């Protein structure tokens, strides 16, 4: 019982000590024999660039592939690009085909060709099958290590056949039943094999109603199927029903986590694969783009204010209060937007219930608009002793919250239809709308009333 | 091969047709026999309240429990609260202990007691074990259906023992080896059982180095272990090493998805269990709180602007440009904040590398500050023909982006230390800081220069 989570921390502390005191040999021993590859990967991802490079150099070349497969895309690419084809070949020996395909997809085509050329024919063919599908489809996610059996043998023969193996492929919960031409016709769950009479035929016991996945299915749909049916593994078939491979739950867990993370990171204009310890220069360049896009929207809001400079000069209280109108709209809109983005991701939102949702959001916008408009108006009147100002800001807040609800609901649906990621671009567009409408309504109404 | 995802949509369309034409009997048949409980749950979650109630009434009472377990917390609670103890008992018959415990934890204590009283002694004891642990720990997540064997029998005996079962508990990939007093001493992976010589003893084949989970481990740590070791199931033990139960990957997948979803929803002040189709009144009340909190911060920003009313009256261009300074700070800060929140969630951030991260963020803030300050200053000078104004806004932007970087980095770490959820409160506090500092720096510098 030694794989206890508590035991990792002291190991890491000792490793840090060794590194800081310059004792590279003990550090090398710990990295290569004291820690699991997944822990080494976590350690690399938690280290600033300089320490990370020192650690990487200390890892034995034949262990580097094991570590590589557990790294995030960003960090993985960083190390892969430093290796030549020969190093890639020796580092990735023994990896599963799906993990190997994931790694290779980050490399230039010439390196992929060299790696492929260095492999045995059968292994190469398997790898080429996986590489022929886009990375975000079932085909790109699958492994080719499925155990297959024929329908017309007895379970006893199956048991003896299994015993001829050293070990079974990981997460094997079902043996796949195929015809002579490799067409998938059913599955024999291991747990059913174990409780059934050994003299029965596979055909009599097998499950013909199992979930099968077509190779071009998008990975998020694969994840939904796994979640829905509590799957541990599922076979992947071509359009003609031929068995191509098998997807296991560990790969699906990554898809699920990355999907949810993607939505959070996108809302701040970030990539979910972003390295926490990316160097300052790379980070600056990536974030500059997002700041630039937001600057354009900020200038649009400024232009609206600029239209009312004369009014502001006469009533400076407007300048004091106008950010409140914009900010309340932004918050209300982003709440509607977030609920819709999640609803779309979960498959809850469809044409038939969108009208209900829009209606609900408009009612929510109106109720909260009236509530907070009253509060803000009260404070504004007390602050500036100006009843008209209270009326103006109340009206502007109600208008902006209604527009925010409308926009927060329809924007993600429209972006989704246009195949634009609503999590990434939704919040920028929404804030532009609520800023522009907020300033326009508040300052426009004031101009009408005061001038 | 019938469990194809494409087949659900036409079924739902037919169901909708039946409901709309008032053909309740065909609809009832489809709900109870044509659809899997998980699909019915998805249908309920995708329906506005009125349709949802009609659907619920059409589901056979003995199927309601099956459907309930697949519903989100919010919707689940809604239906559970309408049932009396007797209905809960009949609806939840046949559920796994962990799913049943999840459901019961939403109910008032009196109902829990009634349900417990109606159960058989053994089942009740199992349920009480699970209920005795907090919902978000390994103990609350576990099931008590583990198959156990003794170490001193042969694999052949194990195989014959298994064959006496109708079926094995779901996701059984390992048989747990316990002493006579139920102390866990190892695990026999099914896949190893299948490839080993049947005359060997369990003790010779079993894995003594398996991952074991203590009952009080937090569910997010459980999820990390499952991800790290690609587990399908893991035993849960008490502090004394006695076997309590077993956690399976399907429950862990929920934890992983909800954790990532929680971070996204929290950034907008929402709950990850929120029902997409919650009625307007409930939604308004929940969101009003968040709007109110944000209103306080908006008034703080307004108060800062109010300090400089005199300056704005003289130079109205300040009112036009000031939202740009605040907005750039908010965006830059939220990027740092999001990276840190994710880094903390992934376990990348620790005391030893926080200094490096802060340093990196400050450099990024400075680089992007200087870049965009130059751009904004250029546009401001061209727009208002005022060179001083360009200098003032450039300085204010650099200052605000540096403060935003500082705050975006340290705030989540500090909140985490104070055991406050950084995803929920981080963005409000951050925006307050960047608004206040942005307006203060820009208007303050202008007052110094112009007056």
pLDDT digits (tens, 9 = 90+) for B386-410: 999 999 999 999 999 999 999 999 9
Structure tokens at B142: 């576990």
Q: Residue B82: CB partners within 8 Å, gap ≥ 6? A: none
Q: Residue A167: CB partners within 8 Å, gap ≥ 6? A: B191, B192, B195
- As a whole number, the mean pLDDT across chain A is 89
Give the mean pLDDT of A122-138.
Answer: 88
| B395: in domain | yes
Q: Are residues A209 and A263 in the same domain?
A: yes
Q: Is the pLDDT of residue B6 over 60?
A: no
For residue B168, the domain's CATH number is 3.10.580.10
CB A442 within 8 A of CB A312: no
Between A118 and B210, where is the model more confident? Answer: B210
Q: Are residues A111 and A153 in the same domain?
A: no
Domain that holds residue A27: 5-133
Q: Is the pLDDT of residue A157 over 90?
A: yes
| A141: in domain | no
Number of C-beta neighbours around residue B166 at 10 A: 5
Q: Are residues A50 and A113 in the same domain?
A: yes
> How many Å is the maximal CA-CA distance in chain A?
96
Q: Are residues A126 and A158 in the same domain?
A: no
Q: Is the pLDDT of residue B219 over 70?
A: yes
Buried b (16+ CB within 10 A) or exposed e, A320-343: bbbbbbbbbbbbbbbbbbbbbbbb
Q: Is the pLDDT of residue B257 over 50?
A: yes
DSSP 8-state code for residue A33: I
CA distances from A206 to A186, A187, B1 (A): 6, 5, 12
Last residue of a domain, one of B267, B288, B304: B267
| Cα nearest neighbour of A206 on chain B | B1
Q: Are residues A383 and A431 in the same domain?
A: yes
Q: Are residues A122 and A173 in the same domain?
A: no
Last residue of a domain, one of A133, A163, A194: A133
The pLDDT of residue B299: 95
Q: Are residues A248 and A338 in the same domain?
A: no
Predicted confidence (pLDDT) per residue in A57-81, tens digit: 899 888 888 888 888 888 888 888 8
Q: Show residues of chain B in contact with A38, CB under 8 Å.
A: 228-229
Give the mean pLDDT of B8-32.
Answer: 79
Say yes or no for a CB contact (<8 Å) between A284 and B211. Answer: no
Give the mean pLDDT of B31-36.
Answer: 85
The pLDDT of residue A2: 41
Last residue of a domain, one of B234, B267, B300: B267
Beta bridge partners of B154: B201
| A430: in domain | yes
* Residue B61 exposed, middle or buried by CB count within 10 Å (0-12, 13-18, 19+): exposed
- As a whole number, the mean pLDDT across chain B is 89
Say yes or no for a CB contact (<8 Å) between A45 and B348. Answer: yes
The pLDDT of residue A7: 60
Confidence of residue B266 (pLDDT cuts 50, 70, 90): confident
The pLDDT of residue B137: 93
Q: Residue B155: CB partners within 8 Å, gap ≥ 6? A: B193, B196, B197, B198, B199, B200, B201, B202, B205
Structure tokens at A271: 């990539």
| A334: in domain | yes
Q: Is the pLDDT of residue B2 over 60?
A: no
Q: Show residues of chain A in contact with B435, CB under 8 Å.
A: 323
- What does the alpha-carbon distance between residue B313 and residue B306 come to, in Å, rounded to a whole number? 11
Say yes or no for a CB contact (<8 Å) between B168 and A195. Answer: yes
Say yes or no for a CB contact (<8 Å) between A256 and B256. Answer: yes
Confidence of residue A245 (pLDDT cuts 50, 70, 90): very high
| B74: in domain | yes
- What does the alpha-carbon distance between residue A196 and residue B163 come to, in Å, rounded to a whole number? 6
DSSP 8-state code for residue B421: -
| A432: in domain | yes
Between A35 and B149, where is the model more confident? Answer: B149
The pLDDT of residue B63: 86
Helix-, strand-, coil-residue percentages of chain B, each rounded to 5: 70, 10, 25
- What does the alpha-carbon distance between residue A169 and residue A229 come to, in Å, rounded to a whole number? 21
Confidence of residue A8 (pLDDT cuts 50, 70, 90): low
Say yes or no for a CB contact (<8 Å) between A312 and B309. Answer: no
Between A358 and B109, where is the model more confident? Answer: A358
Structure tokens at B46: 């995708």
State how far residue B234 is from chain A, nearest Cα, in angstroms: 12
- pLDDT cut 70: percent of chain B above it: 98
Predicted confidence (pLDDT) per residue in A176-218, tens digit: 999 999 999 999 999 999 999 999 999 999 999 899 999 999 9
For residue A379, the domain's CATH number is 1.10.357.20
Q: Is the pLDDT of residue A4 over 70?
A: no
- What does the alpha-carbon distance between residue B12 and residue B35 come to, in Å, rounded to a whole number? 9
Q: Is the pLDDT of residue A396 over 90?
A: yes
Q: Are residues B240 and B209 in the same domain?
A: yes
Predicted confidence (pLDDT) per residue in B326-379, tens digit: 999 999 999 999 999 989 988 889 888 899 999 999 999 999 999 999 999 999
DSSP 8-state code for residue A274: -
Instruction: Report the half-sphere exposure of A347 (CA within 13 A, side-chain side).
Output: 14
Smallest Cα–Cα separation from B242: which of B173, B185, B202?
B185
- pLDDT cut 90: percent of chain B above it: 53
Give the mean pLDDT of A407-418.
Answer: 94
Q: Is the pLDDT of residue B19 over 90?
A: no
Say yes or no for a CB contact (<8 Å) between A284 and B184. Answer: no
Give the strand pairing for A243-248 and A184-189.
unpaired
A338 vs B229, B264, B284: nearest CB: B264
- Select, from the ranges A132-136, A421-425, B102-106, the one with the highest average predicted confidence (pLDDT): A132-136
The pLDDT of residue A197: 93
Question: What total number of domains does chain B contain?
Answer: 3
Q: What angle do CA A67, A70, A73 make, to 5 degrees?
A: 110
Q: Is the pLDDT of residue A232 over 90?
A: yes
Say yes or no for a CB contact (<8 Å) between B191 and A184. Answer: no
CB B370 within 8 A of CB B377: no
A320 vs B162, B290, B306: nearest CB: B306
Q: Is the pLDDT of residue B43 over 80?
A: yes
State how far residue A99 is from chain B, nearest Cα, in angstroms: 13
Structure tokens at A282: 């790379």
Number of C-beta neighbours around residue B211 at 10 A: 19
Instruction: Please write down the HEC assignment for all residues of A325-349.
Output: HHHHHHHHHHHHHHHHHHHHHCCCC
The pLDDT of residue A13: 74
Q: Is the pLDDT of residue B125 over 60?
A: yes
Q: Are residues A298 and A446 in the same domain?
A: yes
Q: How far is CA B417 from the centre of its chain?
A: 20
Give the mean pLDDT of B63-75.
Answer: 85
Predicted confidence (pLDDT) per residue in A48-58, tens digit: 888 888 889 89
The pLDDT of residue B7: 60
Which residue in B299, B329, B365, B398 has the most chain A C-beta atoms within 10 A of its own C-beta, making it the best mutation to test that interface?
B299
| A138: in domain | no
The pLDDT of residue A1: 39
The pLDDT of residue B1: 39
Structure tokens at B262: 């929680």
Say yes or no for a CB contact (<8 Å) between B338 and A264. Answer: yes
SS3 B325: helix
Say yes or no for a CB contact (<8 Å) between A295 and B328. Answer: yes
Q: Show residues of chain B in contact with A338, CB under 8 Å.
A: 264-265, 267-268, 270
| B273: in domain | no
Q: Are residues B43 and B173 in the same domain?
A: no
Smallest Cα–Cα separation from B227: which of B215, B235, B219?
B219
Q: Are residues B127 and B244 in the same domain?
A: no
The pLDDT of residue B364: 96
Q: Are residues A295 and A260 in the same domain?
A: no
- What does the alpha-carbon distance between residue B324 and residue A431 come to, in Å, rounded to a whole number? 13
For residue B106, the domain's CATH number is 1.25.60.10
- What does the alpha-carbon distance between residue B354 and residue B365 come to, in Å, rounded to a whole number? 16
């Amino acid at each position: 019982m030694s794989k206890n989570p508590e035991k990792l921390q002291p190991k890491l502390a000792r490793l840090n000590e060794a590194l800081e005191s310059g004792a590279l040999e003990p550090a090398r021993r710990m990295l290569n024999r004291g820690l699991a590859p997944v822990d080494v990967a976590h350690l690399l991802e938690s280290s600033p660039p300089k320490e990370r490079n020192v650690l990487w150099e200390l890892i034995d070349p034949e262990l580097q592939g094991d570590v590589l497969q557990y790294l995030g895309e960003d960090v993985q690419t960083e190390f892969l690009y430093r290796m030549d084809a020969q190093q890639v070949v020796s580092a990735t020996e023994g990896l599963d085909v799906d993990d190997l395909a994931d790694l290779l997809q980050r490399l230039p085509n010439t390196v992929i060709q060299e790696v492929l050329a260095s492999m045995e024919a059968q292994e190469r063919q398997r790898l080429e099958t996986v590489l022929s599908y886009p990375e975000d489809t079932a085909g790109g996610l699958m492994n080719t290590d499925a155990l297959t059996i024929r329908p017309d043998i007895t379970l006893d023969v199956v048991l003896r056949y299994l015993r001829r193996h050293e070990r079974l492929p990981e997460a094997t919960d079902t043996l796949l039943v195929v015809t002579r031409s490799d067409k998938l016709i059913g599955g024999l769950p291991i747990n059913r094999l174990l409780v059934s009479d050994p003299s029965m035929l596979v055909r009599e016991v097998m499950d013909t109603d199992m979930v099968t996945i077509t190779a071009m299915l998008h990975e998020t749909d694969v994840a939904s199927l796994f979640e829905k049916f509590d799957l541990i593994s599922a076979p992947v078939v071509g359009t003609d029903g031929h068995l191509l491979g098998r997807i296991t739950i560990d790969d699906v867990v990554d898809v699920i986590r990355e999907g949810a993370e993607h939505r959070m990171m996108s809302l701040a204009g970030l990539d979910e694969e972003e390295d926490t310890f990316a160097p300052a220069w790379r980070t600056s360049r990536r974030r500059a783009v997002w700041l630039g896009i937001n600057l354009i929207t900020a200038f649009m809001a400024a232009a609206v204010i600029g239209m009312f400079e004369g009014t502001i000069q006469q009533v400076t209280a407007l300048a004091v209060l106008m950010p409140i109108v914009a900010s309340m709209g932004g918050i209300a809109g982003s709440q509607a937007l977030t609920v819709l983005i999640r609803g779309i991701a979960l498959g809850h939102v469809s044409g038939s219930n969108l009208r209900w949702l829009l209606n609900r959001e408009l009612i929510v916008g109106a109720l909260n608009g009236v509530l907070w408009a009253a509060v803000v108006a009260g404070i504004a009147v007390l602050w500036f002793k100006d009843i008209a100002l209270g009326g103006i800001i109340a009206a502007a807040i109600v208008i902006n919250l209604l527009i925010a609800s409308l926009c927060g609901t329809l924007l993600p649906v429209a972006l989704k239809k246009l195949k634009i990621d609503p999590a990434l671009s939704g919040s920028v567009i929404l804030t532009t709308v609520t800023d522009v409408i907020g300033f326009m309504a508040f300052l426009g109404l004031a101009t009408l009333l005061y001038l």
